[in-house]
Amino acid sequence: MANDSVSMAASAAPGWTPGQVGLLASVCLVLGLAGGYFLPAGRAANPAHPPAVASAPSAPHPLPTMEQMKALADAKAAPLLEKLKTTPNDAGLLAQLGAIYNSMHQFQEAAQYYDKSLKLDPKNVPVRTELASSLYYSGDVDGALAQLDQALKYDPKDTNSLFNIGVIRWKGKKDAPGAIAAWQELLKVHPNLDRRPIVERMIAEARMGGTVKN
């Protein structure tokens, strides 16, 4: 699944810069590995298309430009921003705005709204993991890890936090031992985890790809 996603990134529209394509590839790679945990960046799914006529060749569907995605996010956010004028301390509303911008890959804007939400509701672990994903995808690896570590202080068994710490340490920090430690803790506190085979496979891959002290 990760390879298919990276291939999709490689065929991005000409309007995308190499950095944007690289970001998309990174996002798709982590999404493919995460198997559903690192969801925030993957919510901007393309609408379903009607079946193509058999005799007509299927045309490639170009990715939207970053400017187009920003415009879509702004349009979706506009009604909520109006509400925010009258309820500026609504943590849930701020988190919704973060989700909108996150879904459109506007990660810096998303992080700002998530951060404001957490200032009002600091113990909200799901929002904190969303902030971590926004920071990671915007290039702030250390900031993302700090947020996930903070999330574990509120909920030491949080599945998303433990899983994503492993992903970020493995892919973002090249720290295979740190990744394995996080995933082993995840399997320890959730022995019946539905994605256990995925986690075990990633542990095995991290062991092969990095120097791990047993």
What are the residue ranges spanned by the domains of the chain? 2-42+65-209
Stretch 148-160: mean pLDDT: 97
Six-digit token string for 165: 């710490």
Instruction: Please spell the DSSP secondary structure of 121-166, one letter per residue.
Output: -TT-HHHHHHHHHHHHHTT-HHHHHHHHHHHHHH-TT-HHHHHHHH
Q: Tell me, what's the pLDDT at 29?
A: 37
Q: Tell me, what's the pLDDT at 19?
A: 42
- Confirm whether pTM is higher than 0.75: no
Six-digit token string for 85: 């004028």
Q: Tell me, what's the pLDDT at 62?
A: 75
Q: Tell me, what's the pLDDT at 209?
A: 81
Q: How confident is the model at residue 199 (pLDDT cuts 50, 70, 90)?
A: very high
- The C-alpha atoms of residue 101 and residue 113 are separated, in whole angstroms, by 9
pLDDT beyond 60 at 117: yes
Q: What percent of the chain has pLDDT over 70?
A: 69
List Cα–Cα distances, 27 to 3, 117, 137, 139, in angstroms. Answer: 12, 24, 7, 11
pLDDT tens-place string over residues 34-53: 333 543 333 332 223 333 33
Stretch 109-123: mean pLDDT: 97
Six-digit token string for 199: 């986690």
Q: Which of these CATH numbers, 2.70.170.10, 1.25.40.10, 3.20.20.150, 3.40.190.10, describes 2-42+65-209? A: 1.25.40.10
